[in-house]
Amino acid sequence: MADLTPYPDTFDLGRGSFALFSPAKINLRLKVLGKRPDGYHELDTLFQEISLTDRIEFHPSHEWRLEFEGADLDAGDSNLITQAAKLLAAEAGIACKARIVVQKHIPVQGGLGGGSSNASVALIGLSRLWGLNRPAEQLHPLAARLGSDCAFFLYGGLAHGQGRGETLDLLVGRMESEVLLVVPPFGVSTSEAFSWREFSLTDDEKSVIFNFRKRKFIPSLSDLDVFCNDLENIVLDRYEELGRIKRLLLDAEAEVAMLSGSGSCIFALYSDRTRAMRAAQQFREPFQVHVCHTVSRPRPAL
Ligand code: C5P
């Protein structure tokens, strides 16, 4: 797999500054096995990195500064990037100083993991900027504290997630596909989507082991029973437009069309870019579309 680039994609800006690309994900599979005593839900999920990215610049600085371009986001203490920076600085026993500039392209509250990705890529970038050079495995516990799907964004590619989503098997298999994202003009809150249905955690469900647990599992578009999202019907019940988008995409020759995570984006998989582009053309304002593709990453040998 020598043709795969290491994660995350990096760009040197000179004078100690650099930019990292912070990717979005889709969930090819999202099984909700039940609600746990701690309030979170036990998941069985397949995370897939896609080529839609934010871009995060890291600059040496004498103070802490976080700036956003392209979206009106709170850059204060509630932002996951600030929380990631403080967590890493505290853990390393150093001052939290850097200037970070985020160019946002990933839709917010779209089920694409943009905020989680930014937090984990901030951990990677600050670890580099501050000379800590921690490997992803050492940043993993910090990422898991920041959010359930943050840990995936330390590795990218294709991964099987369990637990809250933070227990990962990095898969060497690749899923090559064009991806069309349809973004509606509203977001869905993950915690609300999980609260709209009672998921009970039974012993039977806990013991289920799906056949894609094997590290070499390669989901292909022909394994259609892999693709499912237990949050989809719940979210589509509340937002009829999303069901209409899904039907339009399936009518437009999508191999798969599904809600991404807890929504609000619907993604469609195409083996052929021309078809994806053609399908994209039927959506107008206030819907946004992105045609991108899945991204595979090198994995350490077993
Ligand atoms: O972990 P994170 O803060 O990203 O999760 C946001 C919310 O989504 C949680 O507060 C919880 O309500 C819900 N969630 C869940 N089970 C998961 C992941 C998230 O119930 N495995």
**pLDDT tens by residue, 82-105:** 999 999 999 999 999 999 999 999
Instruction: Give the model's pLDDT for residue 172.
Output: 85
185 C-alpha vs ligand 1 centroid, how far in Å? 23
Residue nearest to atom 10 of ligand 1 (CA): 191
Separation between Cα atoms, residue 45 and residue 262, nearest integer Å: 12
Q: Is 194 in the pocket of ligand 1 (CB under 6 A)?
A: yes
d(CA 148, ligand 1 centre) in Å: 6
Task: Check if 149 is active-site.
Answer: yes
Q: Which atom of ligand 1 is nearest to the CA of 262?
A: 8
Strand segments (E) across the chain: 10-14, 17-35, 41-59, 64-69, 98-103, 158-163, 167-170, 178-183, 228-229, 256-259, 266-270, 288-293
**Ligand 1 mutation target, pool 41, 109, 146, 166, most atoms within 8 A of CB:** 41
Residue 278: pLDDT above 90?
yes
The predicted model scores a pTM of: 0.94
Centroid of ligand 1 to alpha carbon of 90 (angstroms)? 24
Residue 9, Ramachandran bin (φ over 0: left; ψ between -120 and 50: alpha; else beta): beta
**Residue 246, pLDDT above cutoff 60:** yes
Where is pLDDT greater, at 201 or 53?
Answer: 53
pLDDT at 173: 82
Residue positions counted in the chain: 302
Given 25, 31, 104, 246, the catalytic residue: 25
Taking CA atoms only, the protein residue closest to ligand 1 atom 15 is 40
Please name the residues in contact with 112: beta carbons below 8 A apart, sequence gap of 6 or more: 24, 25, 26, 50, 52, 106, 181, 260, 261, 265
40 lines ligand 1 (CB under 6 A): yes
Question: What is the pLDDT at residue 222?
Answer: 65
Evaluate if residue 256 carries a pLDDT over 60. yes
Amino acid (one-letter) located at 82: T
Confidence label for 232 from pLDDT (cuts 50, 70 and 90): very high
Residue 213 pLDDT > 50, yes or no? no
230 classed as catalytic:
no
Summarize pLDDT for 139-181 with one digit per residue, the tens: 999 999 999 999 999 999 999 999 999 999 998 888 899 999 9
* Distances 65 to 61, 81, 85, 99, 105 between C-alpha atoms, Å: 8, 11, 11, 5, 20
pLDDT for the residue numbered 302? 60
The confidence score (pLDDT) of residue 268 equals 97
pLDDT band for position 226 (50/70/90)? confident
- The response to whether residue 43 sits with its C-beta less than 6 Å from ligand 1 reads yes
Which of ligand 1's atoms lies nearest the C-alpha of 39?
20
Catalytic pick among 31, 54, 104, 149: 149
Ligand 1 near 115 CB (within 6 A): no
Phi and psi (nearest 5°) for 120? Answer: -75, -35
* pLDDT at residue number 210: 45
Q: How far is the CA of 168 from the centre of ligand 1 (A)?
A: 16
